[in-house]
Structure 1
Amino acid sequence: MTRSRSLVLLLAATALSTSLASVTMAQTPPNPPLEPGAFATSDATDPYLWLEEIEGERAMAWVEAQNTRTLGILQGDPRYQPLHDQALAILESRDRIPQPGLNRDGTVDNFWQDATHVRGIWRRTTLDSYRTQTPEWETILDIDAVSAAEGKNWVYKGVTCLPPEERLCLVSLSDGGKDATTLREFDSVSRTFVEGGFNLPESKGEASWIDADTLLIARDFGEGTMTSSGYPMVVKRLNRGQSIDQAVELFRGQETDVLVGARVLRDADGVIQATLIQRAINFDDNEYHWVQPDGSLTRLSLPERTDIEALVSGQMVFTTKQAWTAPSGQDFQPGDVIAYPLQAWLADPATTATLVLRPGPRESVEGITATRNRLIVALYENVRGGVYVYQPTDAGDWTRTRLDLPQDIAVSLGSASDADDRVFVNVTGYLNPSSLWLANAATGEATSVKSLPEQFETEGLVVHQYEARSADGTMIPYSVVHRADMPMDGSNPTLLYGYGGFQISNLPGYSATVGKLWLERGGVYVRANTRGGGEFGPAWHQAAQQQNRQRAHEDFQAVAEDLIARGITSQPRLGVMGGSQGGLFMGAMLTQRPDLINGAIIAVPLFDMLRFHKLLAGASWRAEYGDPDIPEQRAWIQAYSPYQNLRAGQPYPEVFIHTSTKDDRVHPGHARKAAARLMELGYPVLFYENTDGGHAASANLRESARRIALEYTYLSRRLMDAPAEE
C-alpha cells in the first residue's frame, strides 16, 4: 500500500511612541479617490488592490512597516518572552509522541522536528524498539542537512513509497512552506536521492507510482494545464528517462474544475486492482474514470459527491454526501458508507452494493482506513469518538465490533498495516494528554504504546458541553474548558475558537500550548461545533453552504451570546480566534456582532469574499460559498463579506491579523487589505506577516513558537487586562 506521510499552523523592534492615527497615516500610502458606489465592490472602488501583489515592492514595504510596529508592541510586552519560551519548550520537547508509519517489513517510520532538527528528519526503527521508552532511530533523510547543502529553506511535505518493497520513494519538498512542492526520487535503503531519477519541478499536484519505472503525474505542464483554482487539470504517464514534456497525456479536465489527479487502488500485497483518474469538478463533486489496460477510460457509475476510502478483501469502500439511487436500484442516504466487490462492479455497474454503515442523526464518520483484512472506522456520536472494525462476510454483509479504547474521548486513525490487521489509534481529550494505542483489528484488543505526560496543570479543570440556540432555533453544541470553581459572574477571560466550513469537524484535543499559555493562567477555552462543519455528517455541513452561509455565522454568534448569558464571560473578557475559513468567521463576527467581543485573532483569513475566487486557490471554494460572478450569488456573499462590510463608527476592538507571504492557498492579500481598511477607518489593528510558512503561517518550530507567543500576548492584553466593564 502506498504510504503518504505529511505534516484540516524577526528581531524585536522598538515600540513606537507615536499615536495610532499618525502611524496609520505614515504607513499607508495615499489612495486614489474612490468612484461613486459601495466600497470594494469593483476593482475601481478597491483602493488596496496593490496589496494583492504578493511580493510587490510597495506591498512588502507596507508589510515590513506593519511587522515592525506590531512586533514592537507585542514583543515589547513583558509577558511575550515567557510565553515564547514556554511555547518553544513545548514545541521542541521530546515529550511528544513520534507519529508512526507502519511498513510492510515491520519497521516504523517517523518525521521528527526538535531544537536540533528544526526542519526535521525522516527516521526509522523497528516496531519492538519503537514501543520502548528510548527507541533506536536511524536517520533516513535529514531535511536540515539538505537545506544547508542546497541553500534552501526546504519544508518537508511527505513521502510516497512504491509498494510492496517501499524502497523507491518520492519526497515532497516545499520552498518555505508553500503548497507547491518539488518531487524528488529517493532510495530509502541507500538513503540518497536517485541520480538521474524522477525529479519533478515545483508545482501544486501529485504523483502516483505504477511501477518502478512509471509514474502518473498531475502537475503544471505549462500554459493551459492548470485550473482557474491553480491546480493541475491534466494527468500524464511519465516513464523513467523521459522529460516531463515527453510524458503521455491520459486525461484532461476543464479549466473550471478544482483539480484532476490519479488514484491507484492496490490490494494488501501491493498489486494494482484498478487505476483511476479523479476529476474534482468542485470542492464536493467528483468524477472517477477507470483507466483500462489499453489506456482507454470508462467513467464509473458513482454519485458525484463521493470519496473513495479504501480497498479491503476485494471490496472498494466509499462514502457519499448525497442521496443516491445506484444502477442496481438500491437507495442510499447522505453519509452512508458503501462497498462494491471491485472486480465484479467494474465488469457490471449494476452489481449489488452493500451498506456498510449508516450514521445516525447525531453521528459522523471522521476517518476510514484498512488493514489487511479489516475496515477501520472512526465514528463520533455527539462529538465523542469510538473506533469500529468492519469485516465483510460470505453472505455479503458486514460485521461490526468496537475496539477496546477509552470512552467519551476523541480518537483519530493512524497508520494501518497491510501485512496484518494492526492499526495505530490516537486518543486524546481537552484534559487528556495524547496517547497512542496499537490495536489488533482481528481480535479487538488494543494496548497503549505511548502516552504523553501532562504538559500543563489540569487539577481543578473540567470540561462541559453546552448548547446554544441559533437564530433559526437549531441547537449548537460547544465545549468549555474551565476551572471547576470558576465564578459565573462574567469575569473570566474566554477564548472562543471556531471554523465552520468544508465539513471539517471541530473535535476535542489536547493542546499543551492552550493549556500552558491560557488555561493555567486563568483563561477559559471554548470550541464551537457550528454548522458548516462535519460534526453531524453531510447535512450539518450542507445546512451552511452557499446561500445559507450566514447560518454558520449566526451559530457562532449564538455561542458567544450563550457564554455571556451563562455568566461564563462578558464582552470585555471575550475574544474569538480562527484561521483560514475560520478567519472569515472572525471577520463576520467583527462586522456583525462587535458588541459581543473585545478581541479577535484573524489568522490567514478569507476576507474579501467578492474576490476570493480570483485569488490563488479561491476558485476551488465556489461550491462552499457561491460564485461572486453570478449576480444572485454575489448578493448573498456581499451581505456578509467582511471586507465590504467594515464601517466607521463601530465598536470594533483592536484585532490581531496575521498571515504568511508564502501562503499559496489563501492569498495574503485578504489579511493585508483587512488591516489596511480597518486602519483607514481609524481602528486599532495589529498586523503581522511571516515571510515564510505557507498556509500554516510558520515553516518550522521556532516560527511556530513566535506566532503562538504573539497570539497569547495579544489575548492577555485584550482579555486579561480588560476592566470588568467597558
Structure 2
Amino acid sequence: MTRTTTDSTSGTTSAPTTDAADEPADPYLWLEEVRGDDALAWAAERSAETEARFASAARSALQERLRGILDDPDRLVVPSRHGEWMYDVWRDAQNPRGLWRRCGRDAFRAGTPEWQVLLDIDALGRAEGTTWSFSRAIHGPAGTDRVLLQLSPDGGDATVLREFDLATVAFVTETPFALDVEKTSVAWISADELLVATALAGGGSTDSGYPLTARVWQRGTPVYSGFTAIEAATTDVGVFVSVDRTDGMATATVDVAHDFFHSEEYVWDAALGAAPKLVAAPQDALVAVHGASVVIRTTTAWTVAGHEVAAGSLLVGPLETVTDGDGSGLEVVFTPTSTTVLDSWRWTKRRLVLTLLDDVQSRMLALDPSDGWRATDLDLGASPDDLLSAGVATADADEDDELWIVVRGFLTPPTLIVTDAVDQGPTTVARSRETFDATALAATQHWAVSADGTRIPYFEVGPREHAAHAPVLMNGYGGFEHALTPEYPTLVGPAWLESGGVYVVANIRGGGEFGPAWHLAALRENRHKAYEDFAAVAADLVDRGVTTADRIGCHGRSNGGLLVGNMLTQFPERFGAIVCGVPLLDMRRYTRLSAGASWIAEYGDPDDPADWEFVRTFSPYHLIDPGRAYPPSLIYAATSDDRVGPAQARKMAARLLADTDAQVHYLEPVEGGHAGTIENAATAALHATIYAFLDEVLVRRPA
C-alpha cells in the first residue's frame, strides 16, 4: 500500500492566524520551544520528581523483570525475508542499540540459525559519537548486494541515508548514495538509480514537514541534479515514493498526499523513463502496484465502468485500465459484510492473500487469480481456545508462495508459522516464551452501547473468578482507521494481569475494526463519538459488576493520548487514573507543531472558525476546568519525538498543575522519538513507572 504517512515536532512555533481575541492568552507557549533551555529544565525537573515519587523496591523489581523479558536471549525472532536470507535487528543488554544481522532461510526454518552480524549499531555509535538507532533497510534489486540503511540519531522519524554492501559487509565508500538527517522517502529503480523524496538539496518540504518533490537520482551525481518527477503543493501532506519490481519490471509510484486520506498516485515505467501517468482511482482509495496489475481498496462507494463498488471492497485488474482506460478491466475480489472487513493484503508468487477481521478477529484467505479469484481459507494451525489475530510477517513474492505468519492472542504468545499459500501445511517455526502465568485467566469479548445506540465491542482479559471491584486498565485508540486486535500482553501480563488486574481493549469508532465506515463515523465533527464509545465501555464494566469507576485506569498513546486526555477532561467521574503518552492535547495549535498539519482531515482545521467550533469540544488543553475534580494522571512524552513532539504534553501537565488540585506526574526522556523509547532498558523503566503509578492510585485504593 502506498499510504505511508504517520500520525505528529520540529520544535518551531508560530502564532495562530485565526482571531483568538475571545480566548485567554496561553501562558505556556514557551514550553513549545522543544530544545529551549527553560523548557528542557522544566521537563527535567518534572521528570526527576516523578521518578523519585515512584521509586521503590517493588518498582525496581518490576523493572528488572520487564527488562529480562525484553532481553530474553530465547525470545521469538520475527525476521524479514529477502531471497534466501532472513534479516533481523537484535537488541539485548549487551547490544542495546542492536545488531543488524542475517542467516540462511533454510537454517532459520529448521531452528538452527547461524547469524552473521552485518552492522553493530552500538559500535557505530561509539565510533562516530552519535547514538544511532536502526530505522529501516531497503534492499536493492535482485542480483545486487546493495542496501540503503536509514539510521536515526535520536529515535525520531528523521534519518540519515547510507548505502551498505552485503558482499563486503561495509558501508559503500566509492560514489555511495548518502543523505543527511531528514524525513526522506526512497526506493531503488536500479542498482545505480533511485527515486527519492527529500527536503534536502532544494527539494523543499510541505507545511507538514514532509518532502515536497520526488526526484530521480543517478549514482555519482548530486541529488539536486536529478530531474523532478513530481512536485506537490506546500499545503499537501507530502510526497512518498516506491518502486515495484515484480517480474523484473520497475514501476515507479509517487503518492502525492493531499491530506491524510486523500492522495493521487502517479506511475511510470522507470526503467524506460516514461512520463508519469495519473491512476484514475478515487483519491480516498488505497492503491498498490504489483507488476502489470493494480490493487485498489475503496474507502467510500465508487462507480467504475458503470458499476457501483461498495466501500471497503478490493479490486484487481491491469494497471493500464486505470492509467489509459476507464477501469473496465477491474474485478471486485472482496466485498465486506457487516462483520467481516479487509484488514490488509499481501502477494505471493501465485496468490493474493487477504487478512480479514471478522468481529475483530483474524482470518486469512488465499485468492487464486488463475481460477477466477477462488478463495481458500488458510489454515493457521491455531487453537480456537483464545481470541486471536494473525498477520503476514514476511514473504518474497518474487521467489515463491511461502508465507511467514505470526499468530497471537491475549493468552497465546506470538507464534511464528510458515506455510504455502498454494499447497498449505502450516509448520510452527518458533513460539515466544510465556511472560506471565495465564492458567487462571480468561479472554472474552463484550459489547457496550454508546450514547447514540451503537454497539461497541471490547475485549476483556482477567481472572476467570475475580473479586468485585477489580482494578481495570483500559486501552484504546480510535483513529486513522487503525484497528486494535487481540495482542499478547507481553508486559501488561506480568505487570498487571498476574497480580489480579483486568485488562480491557476497546474497539471504538475512528479505528478500522469494521472497515472504513467505522473510521469515518468518528471523523472531524463526529469525533465526539469515539470518546462517547470509550466512556460507554467504562460504564459497561461498572454495570456488569466488574469494577467501580474509581478503580478504572486508561492508557493511550499518540491519538490514543488525545483519547485519554478527553476522558480526563470530559469524563473524569468514570476513571480513577489516566496514563497519557506522546499525546495530542492542544487542538488549537496542533497543526503548527511538527507534523500536525498532516492530520487536518482527521480532526479539522482549528484555523478555520467553522472547524474550531467543533475542534474546541475535544481539545483537552482547553477543557481544563479549575473548579472540577480530576483523577490522578501520568503524562509522558519524548524530547526527540519529531512526529507529535513533547510540547502538548508539557503544556497540559503545566496547566493541570497550576490551575487544578489534581495529582499530575510528568515524564520526558530525551531519546525515543514517537515510540517513546529505543533501548530495552528504557522501555522497562518507563513501564515500571507507569505500573508503579497505577498500583498506587488503583490497586491499593480501598475497595
TM range (shorter): over 0.9
1:273-308 per-position Cα deviation (integer Å, ceiling 9, x unaligned):
x22221011110110112354553321211111222
Are 1:484 and 2:464 counterparts?
A: yes
Q: Output the CA distance in 1 between the equivalents of 2:262 and 2:482.
A: 16
- Do structure 1's residue 354 and structure 2's residue 331 form an aligned pair? yes
Structure 1 counterpart of 2:331, one-letter code = T
In 1, Cα distance between the equivalents of 2:687 and 2:400? 41
CA drift of 1:344 comes to 5.2
Structure 1 contact 363–535 (Cα < 8 Å) conserved: no
Q: Do residues 289 (structure 1) and 266 (structure 2) align?
A: yes
Partner of 1:65: 45
2:637 aligned counterpart, secondary structure: strand
Deviations 1:152-198 (A, max 9, x none): 11110110011212511100100110101111011112111100301
The equivalent of 1:412 in structure 2 is: 391
Does 2:545 match 1:567?
yes
Matching residue's letter, 1:687: Y
Shift of 1:131: 2.5
Question: C-alpha distance in 1, partners of 2:5/2:335?
Answer: 30
> Structure 1 residues 569, 716: closer, same or farther in 2, change over 3 A?
same
SS of residue paired to 1:445: coil
> Which residue is 2:16 aligned to?
none
Aligned CA distance change for structure 1 residues 142 and 368 (closer, same or farther; 3 Å): same
Residues 152-191 of structure 1: pairs in structure 2 closer than 5 A: 152-191=130-169
* Alignment partner of 2:217 out of 197, 218, 238: 238
Tell whether the 8 Å contact from 2:473 to 2:553 is kept in structure 1 after alignment: yes
**Correspondence for 2:313:** 336
CA distance, structure 2, for counterparts of residue 429 and residue 455 of structure 1: 13
Match of 2:641 in 1: 663
Q: CA deviation at 1:372?
A: 1.1
In 2: Cα distance, 1:275 partner to 1:512 partner? 39
Structure 2 residue 672 is matched with structure 1 residue 697:
no
1:103-140 CA deviation, whole Å, 9 max, x = no partner? 22x22111211112111111111122113444211111
- 1:417: how far off? 2.0
Shift of 1:249: 1.3
Is 1:40–1:47's contact at 8 Å kept on the other side of the alignment?
A: no
2:357 alignment partner, one of 380, 395, 399:
380
SS at match of 1:427: strand
Question: How far does residue 373 in structure 1 lie from its aligned partner after superposition?
Answer: 1.3
Task: State the AA in 2 paired with 1:470.
Answer: S
Q: How does 1:31-180 map to 2 (within 5 A)?
A: 45-74=25-54, 76-104=55-83, 106-180=84-158
Secondary structure of 1:115's aligned partner: coil
Q: Is the 8 A contact 1:174 1:182 kept in 2?
A: yes
Identify the structure with bigger relative contact order (alpha carbons < 8 Å, sequence gap 6+): 2
Specify the alignment match of 2:12 in structure 1: none
Q: Kindly state the Cα deviation for residue 572 of structure 1 after the two structures are TM-superposed.
A: 2.2
**Equivalent-residue separation in structure 1 for 2:144 and 2:207 (angstroms):** 35
Structure 1 unmatched runs, 5+ = 9-37
| Superposed displacement of residue 703, structure 1 | 1.0
Aligned to 1:515: 493
Q: Partner residue of 1:623?
A: 601
- 1:584 equivalent in structure 2: 562
Q: Matched residues in 1 for 2:476 and 2:345: separation?
A: 25
Look up the equivalent residue of 1:710 and give its one-letter code: T
Counting only pairs closer than 5 Å after superposition, residues 11-26 of structure 1 correspond to structure 2 as: none
Match of residue 529, structure 2, among 551, 557, 582? 551
Aligned residue number for residue 374 of structure 2: 399
Match of 2:505 in 1: 527
1:441 matched to which residue of 2? 421
Given the alignment, which residue of 428, 431, 444 partners 1:464?
444
Cα offset, 1:367, TM superposition: 1.9
Report the CA distance shift for 1:6/1:300 in structure 2 as closer, same or farther (over 3 A).
closer
Residue 701 of structure 1, CA deviation: 1.1
Change (3 A) 1:546 1:216: same
Tell me, yes or no, if the aligned pair for 2:185 and 2:240 is still in contact at 8 Å: yes
Deviation at 1:318, TM superposition (A): 2.1
1:430 aligns with 2:405: no
1:536 equivalenced with 2:514 (yes/no):
yes
Establish whether residue 279 from structure 1 lines up as the match of residue 256 from structure 2.
yes
The answer to whether the 8 Å contact 1:309/1:368 transfers is no
Q: What residue identity is the alignment partner of 1:214?
A: E
Normalising by structure 1, report the TM-score: 0.91
Deviations 1:45-99 (A, max 9, x none): 110000000010110111111011111101x233210110111011111232111
Contact 1:403/1:441, CA 8 A, preserved across alignment = yes
How many residues align? The count is: 684
Q: Distance in 2 between matches of 1:572 and 1:215?
A: 56
Secondary structure, aligned partner of 2:337: coil
Deviation at 1:644, TM superposition (A): 0.3
TM-score (normalizing by structure 2)? 0.94
Q: 1:168 to 1:441 in 2, by over 3 A?
A: same
**Contact 2:538-2:549 at 8 Å conserved across structures:** no
Q: Assess, with a 3 A threshold, how the Cα gap between structure 1 residues 40 and 371 changes in structure 2: closer, same or farther.
A: farther
Cα deviation, residue 702, structure 1: 1.2
Distance 1:434 1:377, change over 3 A: same
For 1:415, give the aligned amino acid. Answer: T
Rounded Cα–Cα distance in structure 2 between residues aligned with 1:479 and 1:302: 36
What's the secondary structure of 2:668's corresponding residue? strand
Percent of aligned positions that are identical: 37
The match for 2:186 is 207
Structure 1 residue aligned with 2:15? none
What CA distance in whole angstroms lies between the structure 2 residues aligned with 1:40 and 1:121? 54
1:230-253 C-alpha deviation (Å, 9 max, x unpaired): 101101111111122322211110
Q: Is the 8 A contact 1:217 1:236 kept in 2?
A: yes
State whether residues 575 and 719 of structure 1, in contact with CA within 8 Å, keep that contact through their aligned partners in structure 2: yes
